[in-house]
């Protein structure tokens, strides 16, 4: 039974939370201020603390810091009357799991509590592992403290120093190569080569040469011997990205490497022994490819001894701000201001977006923000058009055709283009998309009507 500490100077709220959490099956202890709460925390450990942000003598952020010093694994949820972007970021930086406004929906709080306790379960099981990385939010080059990513970190730790072949599954842009590299760097092979090849990026003949090498004279243009990646990766790891694209003849050769630890170079007659760990990845459902006959079943089971699934960004929304801050800092030039905060509305838009391109798309957004904003706070209007609510976009389109004023068609068209450019902050691609025309057509019409972009955006 999870043990929860509720801290609030409002007796009514304190009693309400106690009743609600008790009905959910938790053991609940209450305190009317931070001082009394800390006294309880020194005597016993709590799985979760729910605390008000504004309290006399010591506020919720200061109390959060004290709790984390006493018990780093305790999860903390802040309740605030008026949430702001600064409040959210500060709370997360100090180790809060989440925050919620006082007019919360009961089901929302129940969900946040469940998620926090689930995450704590992962933290407890892998506390030593997470401390080795310095802090739970980062593991190698991966960033994220969501329950989904903590499970990925734990899986990496478990599989890294085993000889098992690993199959990494996940949508495009989720960071499959980062996971493969982390597995290698946490294994006993870490000092040996880690080599990468994209099986879908080059032709079949070239792919075979790159993987297995060839001997002099094997084909036209083979003027010298070439060892190939499997030879170069001896003792280390080879990462086969987009393994589903591997042509059938090369699936046969790869199966031999997996089963017998040997291969032959193109044109060669001698078997070459090799000690290489194989990590493969795909965004496709490889099991479905087996059913359709495009991927060998025996090779599939050999490669997927230990499958690892990487969650898409829309399933780990609590990591979005941390990731964006990381990229903004890493891509920032020395002469640019440090972007250190996000408005509440910007956070809502970022977390509400579906992120079809996952982390790769988030990287691109961070580069765009650095090019377009000049202040230290990211606001909702700074975000690209695709982040705007569909209702807002629909209202704009409606406004283009509901003007009561009668005018020549050319004047109406010019006005529509001007208003749409202003609406999209002069983003040509977004404006063309809204107007339903191509980018070149929009440029042509702008020239016809004498419409110019501001100098800084031309």
**Per-residue pLDDT band at 456 (split at 50, 70, 90):** very low
pTM of the model: 0.60
| pLDDT, mean of residues 433-455 | 80
Residue-range domain boundaries for the chain: 3-125, 142-309, 314-383, 390-457
pLDDT for 53 beyond 60: yes
* CATH code matching the domain that covers 390-457, chosen among 3.30.2320.80, 3.40.50.2300, 3.90.1170.50, 1.10.10.60: 1.10.10.60
Instruction: With a cut of 90, say whether residue 180 has pLDDT above it.
Output: yes
What's the CATH number for 314-383? 1.10.8.60
Which superfamily does CATH assign the domain made up of 3-125 to?
Response regulator (3.40.50.2300)
Identical fold for domains 3-125 and 142-309, yes or no, is: yes
**Which whole number is the average pLDDT over 250-273?**
91
3-state secondary structure the chain: CCEEEEECCCHHHHHHHHHHHHHCCCEEEEECCHHHHHHHHHHCCCCEEEEECCCCCCCHHHHHHHHHHHCCCCEEEEEECCCCHHHHHHHHHCCCCEEEECCCCHHHHHHHHHHHHHHHHHHHHCHHHHHHCCCCCEECCEECCCHHHHHHHHHHHHHHCCCCCEEEECCCCCCHHHHHHHHHHCCCCCCCCEEEEECCCCCHHHHHHHHHCECCCCCCCCCCCECCHHHHCCCCEEEEECHHHCCHHHHHHHHHHHHHCEECCECCCCCEECCCEEEEEECCCHHHHHHHCCCCHHHHHHHCCEEEECCCHHHCHHHHHHHHHHHHHHHCCCCCCCCCEECHHHHHHHHHCCCCCHHHHHHHHHHHHHHHCCCCEECHHHCCHHHCCHHHHHHHHHHCCCCCCCCCHHHHHHHHHHHHHHHCCCCHHHHHHHHCCCHHHHHHHHHHHCCCCCHHHC
Answer yes or no: is pLDDT of 178 > 90. yes
CATH architecture of 142-309: 3-Layer(aba) Sandwich (3.40)
Mean pLDDT of the residues in the chain:
82
Taking the C-alpha atoms of residue 71 and residue 3, their distance in angstroms, rounded to an integer, is: 13
Residue in the structure block whose two tokens are 């079943």: 297
Q: Is the pLDDT of residue 253 over 90?
A: yes
Of 23-37, 74-88, 242-256, give the lowest mean pLDDT range: 74-88
Q: What's the pLDDT tens digit per position in 399-430?
A: 555 555 555 667 667 777 887 887 777 778 77
Please tell me the predicted confidence (pLDDT) of residue 405: 52
- pLDDT tier for residue 390 given thresholds of 50, 70 and 90: low
């Amino acid at each position: 039974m999870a043990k929860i500490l509720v801290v609030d100077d409002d007796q009514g709220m304190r009693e309400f939370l106690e009743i609600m959490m008790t009905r959910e099956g938790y053991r609940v202890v209450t305190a009317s201020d931070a001082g009394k709460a800390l006294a309880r925390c020194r005597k016993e450990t709590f799985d979760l603390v729910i605390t008000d942000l504004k309290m006399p003598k010591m506020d919720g952020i200061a109390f959060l810091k004290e709790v984390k010093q006493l018990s780093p694994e305790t999860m903390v949820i802040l309740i605030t009357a008026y949430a702001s972007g600064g409040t959210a970021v500060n709370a997360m930086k100090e180790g809060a799991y989440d925050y919620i406004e006082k007019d919360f929906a009961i089901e929302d709080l129940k969900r946040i509590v469940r998620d926090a306790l689930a995450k704590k379960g992962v933290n407890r099981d892998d506390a030593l592992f997470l401390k080795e990385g310095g802090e739970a939010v980062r593991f190698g080059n991966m960033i994220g403290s969501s329950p989904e990513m903590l499970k990925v970190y734990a899986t990496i730790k478990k599989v890294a120093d085993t000889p098992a072949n690993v199959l990494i599954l996940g949508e495009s842009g989720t960071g499959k190569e980062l996971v493969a590299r982390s597995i290698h760097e946490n294994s006993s092979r870490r000092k040996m080569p880690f080599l990468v090849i994209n099986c879908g990026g080059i032709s079949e003949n070239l792919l075979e040469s790159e993987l297995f090498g060839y001997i002099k004279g094997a084909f036209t243009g083979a003027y010298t011997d070439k060892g190939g990646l499997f030879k170069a990766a001896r003792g280390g790891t080879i990462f086969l990205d987009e393994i589903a694209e591997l042509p059938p003849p090369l699936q046969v050769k790869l199966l031999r490497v997996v089963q017998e630890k040997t291969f032959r170079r193109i044109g060669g007659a001698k078997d070459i022994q090799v000690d290489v760990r194989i990590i493969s990845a795909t965004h496709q459902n490889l099991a479905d490819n087996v059913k359709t006959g495009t991927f060998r079943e025996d090779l599939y089971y050999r490669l997927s001894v230990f499958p690892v699934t990487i969650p898409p960004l829309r399933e780990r929304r609590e990591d979005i701000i941390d990731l964006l801050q990381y990229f903004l800092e890493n891509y920032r030039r020395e002469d640019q201001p440090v972007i250190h905060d996000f408005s509440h509305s910007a956070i809502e838009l970022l977390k509400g977006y579906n992120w079809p391109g996952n982390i790769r798309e988030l990287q691109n957004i961070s580069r765009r923000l650095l090019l377009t904003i000049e202040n230290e706070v990211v606001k909702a209007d700074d975000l690209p058009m695709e982040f705007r609510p569909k209702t807002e976009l629909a209202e704009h389109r409606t406004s283009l055709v509901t003007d009561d004023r009668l005018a020549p068609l050319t004047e109406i068209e010019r006005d529509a283009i001007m208003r749409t450019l202003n609406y999209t902050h002069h983003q040509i691609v977004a404006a063309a998309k809204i107007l339903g025309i191509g980018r070149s057509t929009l440029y042509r019409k702008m020239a016809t009507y004498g419409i110019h972009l501001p100098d800084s955006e031309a």
